[in-house]
Structure 1
Amino acid sequence: MKTNYILAISGSDILSGGGMQADLATFTSHGLFGFVALTSLATVSEGGFEITALTEDLLVKQFASLADLPFAAIKVGLLPNQALARQTLAFLKARPEIPCVLDPVLVFKENSDEEISQMRAELLTFFRHVTLITPNLREAEILSGITITTLSDMKKAAKMLYGLGAKHVVIKGGTRLDKHQALDLYFDGQTFYPLSLPILHENNNGAGCTFASSLASQLAWGQEILAAIKAAKRFVHQAINRSNDYGVQQYENKN
């Protein structure tokens, strides 16, 4: 690792369970110095969460501010619209040597089917320019077009996403497929690696963000992909175990 600098391109979670708040806490837990290029703000009202995208010009200015920093890894989270996605992709294309984890956040109730379809097309263009993608089951279904109800379906979706250009795919199974085990699936283009840990019943808000940012942290330290995925899964399991009313809690990483 040339530096301990790591970047999150992500939105803000006003309640600090996920988003850039979880990213920065995770980076710190892994002994890294975290930077953020902010894409959106979340606020809470009686109607639920509202996501407000930052302007394209403001994101461009953030990227210009960070242009000369030698990041060891990058994590990409919520990209609320096509314009911000395109600017983010341009930033990544200029840094092909930097390991990058894409957490393709697609599903918010504020998004129409048309908006989700547009963002699906936009995010597919990222696949050849990032190291690894980490969709949850619903995101994997949208990106692959495959309904997932079994491990076999997860394998089909992972293979489809790999065929669309992803170098490495981790589908986060969460709690949908098994009531007792949180099952994830890693595919490297040749071999499927099912990974499971016992399901915890504490608050798991922010677990997806934390997994992706922990994985990016592992890559920043030079871990091999499979070892990084296993370490990130253990880290999230412990974070969920320590969660409070607002989401997962970070702890000192011992890996």
Structure 2
Amino acid sequence: METVLTIAGSDSGGGAGIQADLKTFQELGVFGTSAITALTAQNTRGVHGVLPAAPEFVTQQIDCVMADFPVKAVKTGMLFSAEIIQAVADSLKKHASFLVVDPVMIAKDRTSLLQQSAVSALITELLPLATLVTPNIPEAETLSGLVIETQDDISAAAKRILAAGAEAVVIKGGHLSDKQATDYIFTADTVFTVSTPRIETRHTHGTGCTFSAACTAFLAQGYHLRDAIIEAKKFIHLAISQPINLGSGHGPTNHFAYHINKGNCEVAINDIR
């Protein structure tokens, strides 16, 4: 069994963050370890408090895990501050593994989960280490400095993110208004999209965390990057399409659905380049 590490914030409501990552890892058959960057007091109605960890303690968590476990892949989520980002980057530079960066910036209730001063640190310190970056549209706008309204805008934003040093980027289309939920994948040599039918539901809390955690698990198990992304798309589509209907706000997705359905899910793939 492969071991993976998530470096992210804790979600007391269990739908996102460390909790969502570990549930995803468990469902996909990898052993999950964690380094917690912040505690949050939250539920499906919103984030009510954030308590960041000391950067030195984040470093200690990462180094302790890396010293004892053969970590094959790492995923980052909520990092909160420039100081924590620097600590994470310094630790990861000492270890060779796949790195999936989910640039968590804003919660569903619009609470900021990344200080504005930390954006430049994320771009300069973490993106050059990334195997894959998984921003949604607002996050891709922040990372690229561009307004995204068209597919050409998506391509231009992706080029800027790749130029920052990332090997690949998935710009997720959940914030677009198309009938299909289409994600756009870019590497230096290839461009393709993966699409599933859009599901109208309020139960979408933790979708970004869950998708990036699934990518991490599949990469750790030896999947080619393209196949890891496609399987992660199946995982998150099934999780959204079969909700467990918890909470009175933005409820969590169904982390059990992929396993229950044995991964059976149609994904439309379009190779652009």
Q: Please give the TM-score of this superposition, normalised by the length of structure 2.
A: 0.85
**Residue number in structure 2 paired with 1:181:** 180
Could you tell me which amino acid in structure 1 is paired with residue 146 of structure 2? I
Distance 2:120 2:14 in 1: 29
Asked if 2 retains the 8 angstrom alpha-carbon contact of 1:99 and 1:130, the reply is: yes
In the alignment, structure 1 segments of 5+ residues that lack a partner are none
- How many residue pairs match? The answer is 249
- Aligned partner of residue 239 in structure 1, secondary structure: helix
- Aligned partner of residue 169 in structure 1, secondary structure: strand
Selected match of 2:41 from 43, 48, 60 = 43
Q: CA deviation at 1:84?
A: 0.9
Distance 1:31 1:128 in 2: 28
Asked if 2 retains the 8 angstrom alpha-carbon contact of 1:171 and 1:185, the reply is: yes
Residue 250 of structure 1 pairs with residue 248 of structure 2: no
Distance 1:64 1:168 in 2: 26
- Aligned partner of residue 126 in structure 1, secondary structure: helix
- Root-mean-square deviation over aligned CA pairs: 2.0
Q: CA deviation at 1:136?
A: 0.8
Could you tell me which amino acid in structure 2 is paired with residue 165 of structure 1? G
When residues 23 and 85 of structure 1 are mapped into structure 2, their CA distance, relative to the original with a 3 A threshold, is: same
Asked if 2 retains the 8 angstrom alpha-carbon contact of 1:175 and 1:181, the reply is: no
Q: CA deviation at 1:135?
A: 0.7
Residue 64 of structure 1 pairs with residue 63 of structure 2: yes
Task: Write out per-residue CA displacement over residues 192-231 of structure 1, whole angstroms, 9 at most, x where no aligned residue.
Answer: 2122110112311111000000000000010001111011
**Residue number in structure 2 paired with 1:147:** 147
Overall identity of the aligned pairs, in %:
34
Task: Write out per-residue CA displacement over residues 6-44 of structure 1, whole angstroms, 9 at most, x where no aligned residue.
Answer: 110011111111111100000001111111100111114
Could you tell me which amino acid in structure 2 is paired with residue 83 of structure 1? E
When residues 102 and 47 of structure 1 are mapped into structure 2, their CA distance, relative to the original with a 3 A threshold, is: closer
Selected match of 2:4 from 3, 6, 21 = 6
Distance 2:197 2:175 in 1: 10
Residue 214 of structure 1 pairs with residue 214 of structure 2: yes
Q: CA deviation at 1:112?
A: 10
When residues 72 and 182 of structure 1 are mapped into structure 2, their CA distance, relative to the original with a 3 A threshold, is: same
Asked if 1 retains the 8 angstrom alpha-carbon contact of 2:63 and 2:91, the reply is: no
Q: CA deviation at 1:49?
A: 3.1
**Residue number in structure 2 paired with 1:32:** 30
Distance 1:248 1:212 in 2: 14
Q: CA deviation at 1:104?
A: 0.7
Could you tell me which amino acid in structure 2 is paired with residue 23 of structure 1? D
Q: CA deviation at 1:111?
A: 4.0
Could you tell me which amino acid in structure 1 is paired with residue 253 of structure 2? V
Distance 1:177 1:164 in 2: 28
Distance 1:59 1:47 in 2: 25
Distance 1:61 1:201 in 2: 42
Residue 134 of structure 1 pairs with residue 134 of structure 2: yes
Q: CA deviation at 1:58?
A: 2.1
- Aligned partner of residue 9 in structure 2, secondary structure: strand
Could you tell me which amino acid in structure 1 is paired with residue 19 of structure 2? Q
When residues 105 and 145 of structure 1 are mapped into structure 2, their CA distance, relative to the original with a 3 A threshold, is: same
Please list, as runs of the form range in 1=range in 2, the aligned pairs for 1:75-224 lying within 5 A after superposition.
75-95=75-95, 97-108=96-107, 109-111=110-112, 115-116=115-116, 118-124=117-123, 125-178=125-178, 180-202=179-201, 203-224=203-224
- Aligned partner of residue 67 in structure 1, secondary structure: helix
- Aligned partner of residue 66 in structure 2, secondary structure: coil
Asked if 2 retains the 8 angstrom alpha-carbon contact of 1:177 and 1:183, the reply is: no
Could you tell me which amino acid in structure 2 is paired with residue 64 of structure 1? D
When residues 93 and 175 of structure 1 are mapped into structure 2, their CA distance, relative to the original with a 3 A threshold, is: same
Asked if 1 retains the 8 angstrom alpha-carbon contact of 2:38 and 2:80, the reply is: yes
Asked if 2 retains the 8 angstrom alpha-carbon contact of 1:175 and 1:183, the reply is: no
- Aligned partner of residue 238 in structure 2, secondary structure: helix
